[in-house]
Structure 1
Amino acid sequence: MKENKKIPPATVKRLPLYLQCLDQVSDDDIGISSSKLAELAKVNDAQVRRDLSYLGTLGTRGVGYDISTLRNQLQLELGLVEGWSAVIVGIGNLGSALAHYGGFREKGFGIVGLFDDDPKKINSQVAGLVIKPLTDLEKYCEKFNVAIGIIATPGEYAQGVADQLIGCGVRSILNFAPVLLKNVPDVQIRSVDLSQELQILSYYLDRPVLKAVD
């Protein structure tokens, strides 16, 4: 476990963005300035310098940041070097789409198990993985040292699934169900409610002069 540097949550949210921006830089470039990175990330350069200062002394005044070093440090800080095992619970349309998404593995997250309680889905295959019953969840979590649980169930089942994942030792949960899960000490929960995001966009449709903020 890495030392807790007490990086502000807002900064943690921007670190993956900076990593994504580095992928947009030409392979011929060796370094990148804070102003260029700020332009790509749509933030100001003072914010970039402040955020990256939490990673240590990486930049050189008047020169900028070595891209390779910065990428490695961002990956290290985000825990992307060692890779993490994840499971998806709820293999409906959304769960199936998530299982097929190749970007998880590219970023170091391996989907090692799919779970559902629908007898019609159990033992069928999605994205090369056999859907297992929830009764097998604990066994999989122990066998593959699962770190992340992804919930894609209907809302009424999400809390029960979260409780089961936590009971299996999972300490990070990505929740796509349209409900808020209970906060649990030492468990990180991130929720993505797609319908809620659409409602926010809907608010701005008739207000073109306004700009949505994160």
Structure 2
Amino acid sequence: MAESKEKDARRASIISKATIDRLPLYFRTLRLAQDEGIDVISSEELGRRLGITPEQIRKDLASFGQFGKKGVGYYVNELKRNVGSILGLDHHWNIAVVGIGHLGAALANYQNFVTLGFRLVALFDQDPKVIGTVQNHVKVEDISDLPRIVRDRHVDIGIIAVPAAFAQDVADRLVAAGVKGIWNFAPIKMQVPNTMHIVNEDLSVGLSRLSYHITRM
């Protein structure tokens, strides 16, 4: 077991970030193909759906092992399962959302979390009017109880959906409570330990990029 993990770690260290970033796109496309009742899909068809060359798809997937059958293609269910395993989606991570405003409530009710294998186990806010309410069958707790609840419910991933002024404090609390990763929607750069995995999503940046391009149409 230890030897297998060591091999996986060595392999991961030489796989490019671009390849890793494409894996969720492959998983999503395979999930949609599965929903359409497609059993077998070629690298050409995957490439057409994703705007990626078939050669790049074959190269990406070959980084993780041998998938598909020459002259036939990829078995959708099998490849989806394998890509999901590579992404760690078979771990069924427990997640918590901090900040139950409009964005936080939308994230709490996002049904694809369940489809992807994530379990919403905790919600937090500091507003007395929000504490005690329920979103997606989960009660909103007082943020002062975050350390205890994160530990008791084995929260793996904390989602930050609070205003920028409060985001660093929330990140500090999540790190201290022992989460493995943070998904941050606050428009600031977080200061977290090097061992903490964090993904930042700034909606204003995406809109600004779109504005740039349509301005030049």
Whether these two folds match at TM > 0.5 is yes
Q: Which residue does 1:82 correspond to in 2? A: 91
Partner deviation per Cα, 1:72-112 (whole Å, 9 max, x = no partner): 10111111113010000011111011111111111111111
Q: Which residue does 1:134 correspond to in 2? A: 143
Q: Which residue does 1:10 correspond to in 2? A: 18
**Structure 2 CA distance, aligned partners of 1:202 and 1:28?**
37
- 1:134-213 equivalences in 2 (<5 Å): 134-208=143-217
The one-letter code sitting in structure 1 at the alignment partner of 2:17 is: P
**Structure 2 CA distance, aligned partners of 1:32 and 1:126?**
38
Q: Which residue does 1:211 correspond to in 2? A: none
Q: Is the 8 A contact 2:31 2:80 kept in 1?
A: no
1:25 to 28, 33, 42: 33
Q: Answer with 68-77 or 117-126: which moved more.
A: 117-126
The one-letter code sitting in structure 2 at the alignment partner of 1:96 is: A
- 1:97-112 equivalences in 2 (<5 Å): 97-112=106-121
How much identity, in percent, do the aligned residues show? 39
The one-letter code sitting in structure 2 at the alignment partner of 1:22 is: L
Q: Answer with 159-168 or 28-37: which moved more.
A: 28-37
**Structure 2 CA distance, aligned partners of 1:24 and 1:122?**
37
Partner deviation per Cα, 1:153-191 (whole Å, 9 max, x = no partner): 000111111111011111211001111112421211111
- 1:46 equivalenced with 2:49 (yes/no): no
**Structure 2 CA distance, aligned partners of 1:8 and 1:183?**
23
The one-letter code sitting in structure 1 at the alignment partner of 2:145 is: D
**Structure 1 CA distance, aligned partners of 2:100 and 2:33?**
36
User: Once the 2 structures are TM-superposed, how far is the Cα of residue 152 of structure 1 from its aligned partner?
Assistant: 0.2
User: Once the 2 structures are TM-superposed, how far is the Cα of residue 28 of structure 1 from its aligned partner?
Assistant: 4.8
Partner deviation per Cα, 1:21-54 (whole Å, 9 max, x = no partner): 1133265533211111111111111110111012
**Structure 2 CA distance, aligned partners of 1:97 and 1:128?**
13
Partner deviation per Cα, 1:52-76 (whole Å, 9 max, x = no partner): 0122011222222222221110111
**Structure 1 CA distance, aligned partners of 2:42 and 2:216?**
35
**Structure 2 CA distance, aligned partners of 1:66 and 1:130?**
41
Q: Answer with 79-88 or 121-130: which moved more.
A: 121-130
The one-letter code sitting in structure 2 at the alignment partner of 1:12 is: I
Q: Which residue does 2:71 correspond to in 1? A: 62
Q: Structure 2 unaligned segments of length 5 or more: list them.
A: none
Q: Structure 1 unaligned segments of length 5 or more: list them.
A: 209-214
